[in-house]
Amino acid sequence: MGAVTDDEVIRKRLLIDGDGAGDDRKINLLLKSFSKWCNSPLTPEEGFTQYQRMLGTLAQCEFSMGKTLMVYDMNLREMENYEKIYTDIEQNITSAHEKIAECKKEILRAKRIRKNRQEYDALAKVIQQHPDRHETLKQLEALDKELQQLSHIKENVDAKLELRKKQFHVLLSTIQELQQTLENDEKSENDDNNQGSPAGNSE
């Protein structure tokens, strides 16, 4: 890896993922130190220390890789969690909308009921002002009975009057007839007397 390409790669890596540059550099250094360790003539202690150092770097790299894997897992699970919460909230919103629509319908229904009740009350007030039907019927019945009684009495009185009239008529006509008869008798007596005396006179 030349110095120029290194810079470019580092720039690109920084642009993409700044943190990864450190790990990548570590892996490159490890590779370099490994090739140096294999090729350069070193004393056994130095070689051993180099070997230990390389193992340490390797462990560091593995550790950071393990960390990134775990972070990746965590992100995935976090995303799932958020998705779940998102769908929950959406459901809540839709159910709240439905509830609002229901409540609005309820309000309209309640207003209609209240209006009907008020109309009923208003009419009831007017009706209350008029007297009770039963009482009026009873009054009417009583008046009817009185009327019947009075007309009955009137009939009786009329009948009596008629009867008396007829009786008086009979009486009066009898008296008149008698009077007539008496007058006739007197007249005929007078006539007889008159006739008798001229007749006697003429004899």
Q: How many residues does the chain have?
A: 203
Q: Rank residues 122 and 137 by Cβ distance to another protein and give the closer one.
A: 122
Contact 21, 59 (CB under 8 A): no
Among positions 74-133, residues that touch another protein (CB under 8 A) are 108, 111-112, 114-115, 118-119, 121-123, 125-126
Cα 58 from chain centre:
75
Contact 54, 30 (CB under 8 A): yes
Per CB under 8 A, 180 contacts another protein: no
Closest approach of another protein to the CB of residue 103, in Å: 15
Q: Rank residues 115 and 154 by Cβ distance to another protein and give the closer one.
A: 115
Secondary structure of 54-91 in HEC code, one letter for each residue: HHHHHHHHHHHHHHHHHHHHHHHHHHHHHHHHHHHHHH
Closest approach of another protein to the CB of residue 89, in Å: 24
Closest approach of another protein to the CB of residue 102, in Å: 17
How big is the site for another protein, counted in residues (CB under 8 A)? 12
What is the C-alpha separation between 107 and 100, in angstroms, rounded? 10
Classify 127 as helix, strand or coil: helix
Closest approach of another protein to the CB of residue 124, in Å: 9
Positions touching another protein (CB under 8 A) are 108, 111-112, 114-115, 118-119, 121-123, 125-126
